[in-house]
Amino acid sequence: MNPISALRSLAAGALLAATALLSPLAIAAEGAYEAPLPAEINTDPELCRHVPCAEVVPGADSFSPRKGKPAYVEAYRSEGGQKTLVGYAFLSTDIVDIPAYSGKPVITLIGMDTKGIITGTKILRHSEPILLLGIPESVLTKFIRQYLGKFVGDKIEIGKAHEGEGMIGLDAITGATVTVIAQNQVIMRSGVAIARQVGILKVEPKPQIRFAPVEDTLSWAQLVDEGSVRRLTVRPEQLGMPRADQPYVDMYYGYLNTPAVGRSLLGRDGYASLMSRLKPGEHAIFIVSSGSDSFKGSGFVRGGIYDRVQVAQDMDAYTFRDLDYINLWGLQAAGAPDYKESAIFIIRDPGFSAAYPWNLVFLANKLDRETGHRDFVSFSDEYWVLGRYMDGGRPTVVKPDAPWLKVWKARKVEIALFAALLVAVAVVYAKRDALTRRSTRKNKWPVNAFKYTAWVISIGFVGFGLLAQPSITQVLTWFHSLLFKWQWELFLTDPFIFLFWIFIIVTTFVWGRGLFCGWLCPFGSLSELLYKVARGVGLGRFQFALPMKWHNRLKWVKYAAFFMLLAVSMFSMGLAEKLAEIEPFKTTYLVGLFNRSWPYTLFASGILALSIFMERPFCKYLCPLGGALAMPSTFRWFGLRRKQECSSCKACAVGCGSLAIDEHGRIDHRECMHCLDCMVLYTDEHACPPLAQERKRRTKAGLPLTPIGRDGYYIPIKPVPAQKA
């Protein structure tokens, strides 16, 4: 190696090392990310001692203790010694437990005036990785400010797709779709729950159930089997407590108004007595429980609210006070189990109808073993009176689409195009043999036309358009979701990343990581396209590759990066997210090169600038995702072909931009980007030395040039004895 090359290689190596070390692990902004909150925030009646209620209800100067179920505080303004109610403040986690992308809720303080207009929102704590270093937290603050002035009863959704159809569309946050969809649910559901409770939103009465004349008397087992009695069990482990043999609560419950069910459970007299106590439009449910704890709540005091159970129907929640409670003296159904605790609760609200599905909800606090904090959680089970007990059967219920399904429907065209792209690339690669045979060393367009098209689509449509850049952070998120709270809905909310990962997993096992990394990774495509364009415009003389000696050392850095991130994520997901900034993906695609602070921009620009002179430096040496995918690539099913002569011939190795062919002609599929240059040579009778040699020999001997077989050689000429005439 000449001294200039050595110096150049050394400089490149040093630059790579420096970029790895100086990857912008900048300081996370002081914000709500994993912000420590006082433990009392979830339990202290004086909520506003711990959170800035005045910020979300402007003009209020005093606040009541927590009241109601779910809890809220009243906000007052003092004028001339008089206190005037001006609104309400409430904590989202007192009302809903909807996780965001991180699997943890965004804890939000919400303010609302007495007419149901949202007056303020403040994020107290979140764990969203993209908002840690990628998108500034101010963008989320700006997003939730869109709710100010909106009525809680409005139908608000993310995106403008259905604006004008009775929906109000909000601007989403590019790159944080899952977070904002979850946050929309949090704010609107919380607002509706409190507005209903304080009487701002009136409940619209639903058609009431009309019972069919069924006179059966059923045993307990029959009632359970048919679903007229259902079970809701919560185990201590689900609440962060030590595992125990006995459930925390083990509740059986059912709807008692149904004549056949009520008579079976209470006996004819008991049922008649209960019904005589109910006014028209009132409903009775029973609960019996045999768990280690009480479903009524240890904090229950006479005159208070049963704060552990409620009935939910659509967006409405029905809680029970002592006046709604009747003793359940016993169960008459044959085979009824023993129980420790029992109750009959009366639902008096005309908004409830037993003709439609409803949920029994058990509310509890879950202990976070790491922090000692208690988070609000709910467990629910759906109940719907059987069709045979209803006159005319069950009514048709159209349930609203799940948020993820709305996203899939709203973006169906893009999803179809993206899926078509993935399938097309896989099919083209599966047919690579036909393409490489049409190509020669001097004309690789039959392959490159497809590959370059895939790059351009990947950069423009997939990267900048759909923001579907796979990242190691997704792997870490999945890993943690698997450990703590796996929710398919969470991953389905980003359909492009979801589909991309299916493609990556399948193709990595079939062909190795090269198809994704070499053909469809938006950043990899951009990196190599820069290299090719630079060569095309005459910068080729400045382009170089590291000597194999250095390449073989530096290629391990990406594996080390992957293992380091995996290990760190076990102790601190936040730190792992910061360290994952070694990937310049967020800066390049999700946030934009010019929308981030200078260290990130410098890092991403530096990598891209280096890509002009060196083929895919990031992919070869730094990419933790590449390292993660390279490992299963060891066991890909189908690799690229080789001939025995490849062990001594260097023709392919010299042209291998990925430096994946070693001195013995062997292809390291962990490093190969599937550019297919070596496969073009494999069947090029003018460029592949053993083939060219054979071609010349046959031509000289006047022998025909037979087609080239799968083994990369001319099909042998086998003399066949002439047939006798």
Instruction: Please state, in angstroms and rounded to a whole number, the distance separating the CA atoms of residues 408 and 193.
Output: 28
Instruction: Please state, in angstroms and rounded to a whole number, the distance separating the CA atoms of residues 61 and 697.
Output: 98
| Packed helices 556-571 and 3-21: angle between N→C axes, nearest 10 degrees | 10
From 342, 379, 384, select the one nearest 233 (Cα to Cα). 379
Instruction: Please state, in angstroms and rounded to a whole number, the distance separating the CA atoms of residues 421 and 423.
Output: 5
Nearer to other proteins, 484 or 598 (CB): 484
**Does 598 sit near other proteins (CB under 8 A)?**
no
Per CB under 8 A, the segment of 109-117, 154-162, 267-275, 668-676 that binds other proteins is 668-676
**Does 709 sit near other proteins (CB under 8 A)?**
no
**Does 639 sit near other proteins (CB under 8 A)?**
yes
CB of 651 to other proteins, least distance (A): 12
Per CB under 8 A, the segment of 93-101, 102-110, 171-179, 663-671 that binds other proteins is 663-671
Nearer to other proteins, 237 or 391 (CB): 237
How many of the chain's residues bind other proteins (CB under 8 A)?
33
Q: Contacting other proteins (CB under 8 A), which of 149, 165, 207, 243?
A: 243
Nearer to other proteins, 666 or 697 (CB): 666
Nearer to other proteins, 397 or 631 (CB): 631
Nearer to other proteins, 157 or 677 (CB): 677
Per CB under 8 A, the segment of 139-147, 427-435, 541-549, 644-652 that binds other proteins is 644-652
Q: Tell me which residues in 223-242 interact with other proteins (CB under 8 A).
A: 235, 237-238, 242
**Does 245 sit near other proteins (CB under 8 A)?**
no
Q: Which long-range contacts (CB under 8 A, 24 or more apart) does 590-599 make?
A: 590/130, 590/134, 590/135, 590/174, 590/175, 590/467, 590/469, 591/134, 591/135, 591/175, 597/24, 597/26, 599/22, 599/24, 599/26
Nearer to other proteins, 269 or 711 (CB): 711
CB of 599 to other proteins, least distance (A): 31
CA atoms within 13 A on the CB side of 397: 15
Q: Which long-range contacts (CB under 8 A, 24 or more apart) does 541-545 make?
A: 542/613, 543/612, 543/613, 543/614, 543/615, 544/5, 544/8, 544/9, 544/12, 544/613, 544/614, 545/614, 545/615, 545/657, 545/659
Per CB under 8 A, the segment of 38-46, 119-127, 529-537, 633-641 that binds other proteins is 633-641
Instruction: Please state, in angstroms and rounded to a whole number, the distance separating the CA atoms of residues 163 and 168.
Output: 5
Which amino acid type is present at position 76? Y
Nearer to other proteins, 227 or 639 (CB): 639
CB of 309 to other proteins, least distance (A): 21
CB of 673 to other proteins, least distance (A): 17
Contact assessment for residue 389 and residue 258, using Cβ atoms and an 8 Å cutoff: yes
Contacts of 397 (CB under 8 A, 6+ apart): 356, 357
Nearer to other proteins, 174 or 233 (CB): 233
Token representation of residue 705? 């040039």
Instruction: Please report, for residues 65, 78, 84, 88, 415, the alpha-carbon distance to residue 81 in angstroms, rounded to integers and kept in the order given.
Output: 20, 6, 10, 20, 61
Q: Please classify residue 562 by burial: count the beta carbons closer than 10 Å to its beta carbon, then call 0-12 exposed, 13-18 middle and 19+ buried.
A: buried
Per CB under 8 A, the segment of 121-129, 261-269, 352-360, 642-650 that binds other proteins is 642-650
Q: What residues are paired with 229 via a beta bridge?
A: 254
Q: What are the φ/ψ torsions at residue 49 (nearest 5 degrees)? A: -70, -25
Nearer to other proteins, 134 or 712 (CB): 712
**Does 659 sit near other proteins (CB under 8 A)?**
no
Matching residue, tokens 């003009």: 59
CB of 236 to other proteins, least distance (A): 9
Q: What are the φ/ψ torsions at residue 566 (nearest 5 degrees)? A: -60, -45
Q: Tell me which residues in 446-485 interact with other proteins (CB under 8 A).
A: 482-484
3-state secondary structure of 394: coil
CB of 712 to other proteins, least distance (A): 11
**Does 654 sit near other proteins (CB under 8 A)?**
no
Nearer to other proteins, 183 or 658 (CB): 658
Q: Contacting other proteins (CB under 8 A), which of 122, 551, 670, 674?
A: 670
Per CB under 8 A, the segment of 36-44, 494-502, 564-572, 713-721 that binds other proteins is 564-572
CB of 683 to other proteins, least distance (A): 16
- Does a cis peptide bond (omega within 30 degrees of 0) precede residue 247? no
**Does 642 sit near other proteins (CB under 8 A)?**
yes
Instruction: Please state, in angstroms and rounded to a whole number, the distance separating the CA atoms of residues 112 and 191.
Output: 8
Per CB under 8 A, the segment of 213-221, 452-460, 497-505, 634-642 that binds other proteins is 634-642
Q: Which residues bind other proteins (CB under 8 A)?
A: 235, 237-238, 242-243, 369, 482-484, 567, 570-571, 630-632, 634-635, 637-639, 641-644, 646-647, 664-670
